[in-house]
Amino acid sequence: MAEREVTLRPLGRPGDLGWVVMAHGEFYEREFGWDADFEALVARIVTDYAEGKGAGPQAAWIAELDGRRAGCVFCVSADRRTAKLRLLLADPAARGLGLGTRLVEECLQFARGAGYEAITLWTNDTLASARHLYQKCGFQLVAEEPHHSFGQDLVGQTWQRHL
């Protein structure tokens, strides 16, 4: 079996922003039954990023598998001292290749280099693979709250780690 090539690059090529929105919408509907409200949220996050609405340094990356988009992550400002990891996604076809870990590590490295002291993220308890990855990368669960979003009853979680 041929070895697969996984690469990371900065977000910025034509189609990258639209791909992030589309990939999230399709994946979360297929895997978890989430409705278009989630895709709309992702579109707002992507628009804010593209318009540079954050208060501090920000960056985003696309992971490619054999030259095709297969994942992404964004690092934006939560406040002057805290970065926020957003929109982590790894295509199921790329599972087991370390793509998610590489994306999170790239985000952490950027946040440290940008002078942030901590990093936070928000997710939902149903996303077991992502939660496992966050734990492996040193994040700790700091808050949970039930909510009804994206057509589902969910438990939102806030995770954080010091840099």
Q: What is the number of domains present in the chain?
A: 1
> What is the spatial distance between Cα 39 and Cα 83, in angstroms, rounded to a whole number?
23
Paired strand residues for 125:
none
Contact 104, 73 (CB under 8 A): yes
Residue 97 lies inside a defined structural domain of this protein: yes
Residue 104 lies inside a defined structural domain of this protein: yes
pLDDT at position 83 over 60: yes
| CATH number, domain containing residue 18 | 3.40.630.30
Among the residues of 33-156, which ranges form H helices?
A: 36-50, 99-113, 128-136
Contact 134, 101 (CB under 8 A): no
Domain membership of residue 44 as a residue range: 6-117
Residue 125 lies inside a defined structural domain of this protein: no
What are 133-151's pLDDT values in tens digits?
999 999 999 999 999 999 9
Residue 157 lies inside a defined structural domain of this protein: no
Residue 154 lies inside a defined structural domain of this protein: no
Q: Which residues contact 155 (CB under 8 A, 6 or more apart)?
A: 124, 125, 126, 144, 145, 146, 147
Looking at residues 26-42, what average pLDDT do you find?
97
Residue 69 lies inside a defined structural domain of this protein: yes
Residue 137 lies inside a defined structural domain of this protein: no
Helix H or strand E encompassing 30: helix 16-32
Residue 1, pLDDT score: 54
The C-alpha torsion from 100 through 134 and 132 to 70, rounded to 10°, is -20
Residue 134 lies inside a defined structural domain of this protein: no
Instruction: Kindly report the pTM of this predicted structure.
Output: 0.95
